[in-house]
Amino acid sequence: MYIQMFSVHGLLRGSNFELGRDADTGGQIRYVVEMAKQLAEHDEVEGVDLFTRMIEDGDVDDTYREEIERLSDKARIIRVPCGEPRYERKELLWPWLDEFVENVIAFNEDHGNEPTALHGHYADAGYVARKLAEHYQKPLIFTGHSLGKPKLDYLLEQDWSHEQANEILHIDHRIEQEQETLNAADLVICSTTHERDEQYGQYETPRTPLVVPPGTDLNRFYPPAAGETYETRLTEDIRRFLTDPDKPWLLAVARPDRRKNLQGLVRAFGGSPELREKANLVIVAGNRDAIGDLPDNEQQVFTELLMLQDEYNLYGQLALPKTHDSETEIPDLYRYVAVHEGIFINSAFIELFGLTAIESAACGLPFVATQEGGPTDIVANCCCGLTINTSLDEEIQNALLKLLNDRAQWRKFAESGPACVKHHYSWETHCQRYVEEIHRLLEQPAKVTPATGERPGGGAEPLAAAPA
């Protein structure tokens, strides 16, 4: 089988991901690249092409203008033009997606490609994959990663108006296209039971989304080896912020986004004399040159963090490093914090999956994370951390102190994490289930809908849900 995957927005390349550079270059980038690589390793897969947008812009690396980037013998990234050549945020790409579709068809004709199935990631690529599934009369697979209706609910809670959400984010159009894709999809894949029930549950879903957790790159995320210190440029940079850098670190790694609740984390830390006595707080929040050059929402987050640092007089106890390499330095940072018996903290209000919690657990670093979303499944599967109501400062404080004070519990979580992550969150397991589902779709009687006509794949309910 030959699979075509689509992830239109953001800065997508095969290595040295620029995760956290902006709101469009986040965990989805790693998800689709790692999935494409592992899927191509399957014996029954002849090839995987991951299509994204070609970008020609002096402000980004030249890699993003290369038409073909080889990931492995059987996997490639294919870049096609779509709208203006410069880098654009995803909300501005909607008018150009039909051009993207046409350019994929042209590429396939030039290279003699005939996809077995088409898989769209996020609303924009869901639209692209839907149109291509109609064209080729082949099964459509959709993974939303995040969805417009929950996003709108959050924005309204943050005092946005519906009109503002439409003007800036085209939210109603996004929601409409998500619903159209869900109507047409033969298979919808999500990461957690919470995402299935609480996120997709806000839509009409003709077929129940299938929970298949994504994998983790275990070649990068693994526990510390005896005697290794894992000191890097980043750890040395962080130590310069701290008066007593040898105390355990409470580590957060997240984009400077209000939903990540980094301000609440600083407030909880600053308000607990016991936490401040026992540990340091380290927040790795993307890469920046000058705060004034960041988007307005990120400027606001950093401004509030610095104001809280001043309010609680956290100088020497809070580190906010400016730069990091997410590919090499973050895995070593997890291991460094684990060696020094620290804790990873995901203070987001909601986390659809919780990839950073899984990565930290794979490195033998226990975590504290939100009870809203994917981390609940992770704790149930792996017994490697605690979930809490992160909107309450007291719960953040109590959970962190519990692990700092109960070293036996800390060691239990640290030992459980790596083995359980390998068992429950491997890309090999994910891709095996994926191939089985495609076989099932191809064996179903053809389905007929007004949008798609007749094509292989009956769109029946998936097999019994995979373990979350």
Are residues 352 and 323 in contact, defined by beta-carbon separation less than 8 angstroms?
A: no
Whether residues 197 and 281 share a domain: the answer is no
Q: Please report which helix (H) or strand (E) contains residue 447, including its range.
A: strand 447-449
pLDDT of residue 181: 98
Whether residues 168 and 97 share a domain: the answer is yes
What the block records as the tokens of 414 is 């640290």
Amino acid at residue number 204: E
Domain assignment of residue 388, yes or no? yes
Whether residues 119 and 248 share a domain: the answer is no
Candidates 455, 461, 459; CA nearest to 138 is: 455
Are residues 285 and 21 in contact, defined by beta-carbon separation less than 8 angstroms?
A: no
pLDDT of residue 450: 41
Amino acid at residue number 443: E
pLDDT of residue 288: 87
What the block records as the tokens of 122 is 């996020």
DSSP assignment of 186-223: SEEEES-HHIIIIIGGGS--SSPPEE------TTTS-P
Candidates 197, 51, 217, 200; CA nearest to 121 is: 51
pLDDT along the chain (468 residues), means of 10: 98 92 89 97 98 97 98 98 96 98 98 97 98 98 96 94 97 98 98 93 95 92 94 96 98 94 98 98 91 89 97 98 89 98 96 92 98 93 96 98 98 96 92 97 70 50 40
Domain assignment of residue 367, yes or no? yes
Domain assignment of residue 461, yes or no? no
Domain assignment of residue 460, yes or no? no
Distance between CA atoms of residues 102 and 439, nearest Å = 28
Whether residues 37 and 155 share a domain: the answer is yes
Domain assignment of residue 140, yes or no? yes
The pairing of strands 280-284 and 318-319 is parallel
pTM attached to this predicted model: 0.84
Domain tally, the chain: 2
pLDDT of residue 301: 95
Whether residues 85 and 98 share a domain: the answer is yes
Residue 385, domain extent: 233-424
pLDDT of residue 455: 55
Domain assignment of residue 28, yes or no? yes
Distance between CA atoms of residues 352 and 291, nearest Å = 28
Burial-class residue 111 by CB neighbours within 10 Å (0-12, 13-18, 19+). exposed
Q: Assign residue 413 the CATH number of its domain.
A: 3.40.50.2000
Tell me if residue 254 falls in helix, strand or coil.
Answer: coil
What the block records as the tokens of 424 is 């429950």
Whether residues 352 and 315 share a domain: the answer is yes
Angle at CA of residue 121, ends 145 and 147, nearest 5°: 35
Domain assignment of residue 18, yes or no? yes
Whether residues 264 and 376 share a domain: the answer is yes
The torsion of the CA quartet 67, 327, 429, 348, rounded to 10 degrees, works out to -110
pLDDT of residue 468: 37
pLDDT of residue 460: 43
Distance between CA atoms of residues 239 and 223, nearest Å = 22
Whether residues 47 and 131 share a domain: the answer is yes
CA-based Rg of the chain, rounded to a whole angstrom?
A: 22
Whether residues 163 and 239 share a domain: the answer is no
Candidates 415, 361, 372, 364; CA nearest to 395 is: 372
Q: Please report which helix (H) or strand (E) contains residue 455, including its range.
A: strand 453-455
**Cα torsion angle, 146, 148, 153, 158, sign:** positive
Which residue in the block uniquely carries the two structure tokens 């962080």?
238
B/e letters for 129-163, b = 16+ CB within 10 Å, e = fewer, are bbbbbbbbebbbbbbbbebbbbbbeebeeeeeeee
Tell me if residue 23 falls in helix, strand or coil.
Answer: coil
C-beta contacts of 64-70 below 8 A and 24+ residues apart: 64/11, 64/12, 64/13, 69/13, 69/14, 70/14
Whether residues 257 and 384 share a domain: the answer is yes
Whether residues 207 and 243 share a domain: the answer is no
Whether residues 344 and 443 share a domain: the answer is no
Domain assignment of residue 223, yes or no? no
Find all residues with CB under 8 Å of 15, minimum gap 6, and list them.
327
